């Protein structure tokens, strides 16, 4: 996806929230949506099963208005975390500009986090992205759970964050760390704003 188009004076960023099932990806988007001023609230598309787990994906368009002469839009997506929705995850990753990996801090979920991260890397590579360079931010969610149930930030970082990208502790259900994460990935994506010569790339 083109981040910046000088011809049409538009900036469009596609950010995908990735991670294992029940790690809190949808909760992140719901918190962002809840904080939008009424006049900016578009439609958050959320397709979920009867048990509230994301069946297809969530989509939240953020129309930020005109910034420095550019109509600026952020598109936030989540993928279904469950293993059997592999095709959907690949589809959602098409044209991605940046990824937030939402890890579940619970110690018993460590294997699922690793599996999901490996899945992310494989899918990014399949879509022609370099998993080593694409803008990425780690979010260690559910920090509000009892300390005995969750891994330390250091342990999670050591196992999951081998690229050394920015990481954030979060309790998305309470809105903690949600906007810090979004701000961080947005800055990383915008730092890739390309020169006019490469417009439409």
Partner 1 sequence: MARDAGKEAEEEGGEFADFLADVSKEIAQRVESLDKKATPAAAPKKKTPIAADAGVIVEWPNVADRMIEDIR
Terminal C-alpha separation, the chain: 8
Q: Is 70 in the site for partner 1 (CB under 8 A)?
A: yes
DSSP for residue 3: S
Instruction: Using the rule CB under 8 A, give the single segment among 111-119, 121-129, 144-152, 189-197 that binds partner 1.
Output: 189-197
Q: Is 7 in the site for partner 1 (CB under 8 A)?
A: no
Q: Is 201 in the site for partner 1 (CB under 8 A)?
A: no
Instruction: Using the rule CB under 8 A, give the single segment among 15-23, 64-72, 92-100, 126-134 that binds partner 1.
Output: 64-72
Looking at 8, 49, 118, 187, which residue binds partner 1 (CB under 8 A)? 187
Which are the contacts of 120, defined by CB distance < 8 A and separation ≥ 6? 18, 99, 101, 131
Q: Which two tokens stand for residue 102?
A: 């939402």
Site string for partner 1, 18-47 (x = CB under 8 A): --------------x--xxx--x-------
DSSP for residue 143: T
Q: In whole angstroms, give the CA distance from residue 103 to residue 170.
A: 10
Residue 101, Cα to own-chain centre: how many angstroms?
6
Q: Is 128 in the site for partner 1 (CB under 8 A)?
A: no
Q: Is 76 in the site for partner 1 (CB under 8 A)?
A: no
DSSP string, 51-66: TS-EEEEEEEEEEEEE
How many chain residues touch partner 1 (CB under 8 A)? 29
Nearer to partner 1, 137 or 156 (CB): 137
Q: Is 114 in the site for partner 1 (CB under 8 A)?
A: no
Nearer to partner 1, 124 or 178 (CB): 178
Q: Are 166 and 138 in contact (CB under 8 A)?
A: yes
Pairing of strands 10-18, 4-5: antiparallel
Q: Which two tokens stand for residue 114?
A: 């690793």
Question: Least distance to partner 1 from the beta carbon of 16, Å?
Answer: 18
Q: Which residues bind partner 1 (CB under 8 A)?
A: 6, 11, 32, 35-37, 40, 64-70, 72, 74, 175, 178-179, 182-183, 186-187, 190-191, 193, 195-197
């Amino acid at each position: 996806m083109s981040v910046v188009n000088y011809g049409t004076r538009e900036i469009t960023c596609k950010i995908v929230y990735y991670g294992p099932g029940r790690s809190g990806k949808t909760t992140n988007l719901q918190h962002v949506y809840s904080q939008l001023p009424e006049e900016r609230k578009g439609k958050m598309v959320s397709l979920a099963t009867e048990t509230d787990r994301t069946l297809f994906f969530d989509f939240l368009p953020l129309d930020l208005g005109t910034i420095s002469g550019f109509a600026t839009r952020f598109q936030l997506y989540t993928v279904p975390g469950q293993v059997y929705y592999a095709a959907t995850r690949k589809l959602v990753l098409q044209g991605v500009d940046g990824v937030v990996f939402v890890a579940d801090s619970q110690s018993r979920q460590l294997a699922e986090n690793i599996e999901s991260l490996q899945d992310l890397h494989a899918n990014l590579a399949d879509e022609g992205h370099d998993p080593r360079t694409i803008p990425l931010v780690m979010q260690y969610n559910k920090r509000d759970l009892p300390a005995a149930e969750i891994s330390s930030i250091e342990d999670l970082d050591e196992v999951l964050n081998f690229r050394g990208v920015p990481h954030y502790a979060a309790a998305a259900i309470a809105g903690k760390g949600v906007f810090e994460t979004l701000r961080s990935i947005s800055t990383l994506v915008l730092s890739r704003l390309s020169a006019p010569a490469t417009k439409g790339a």
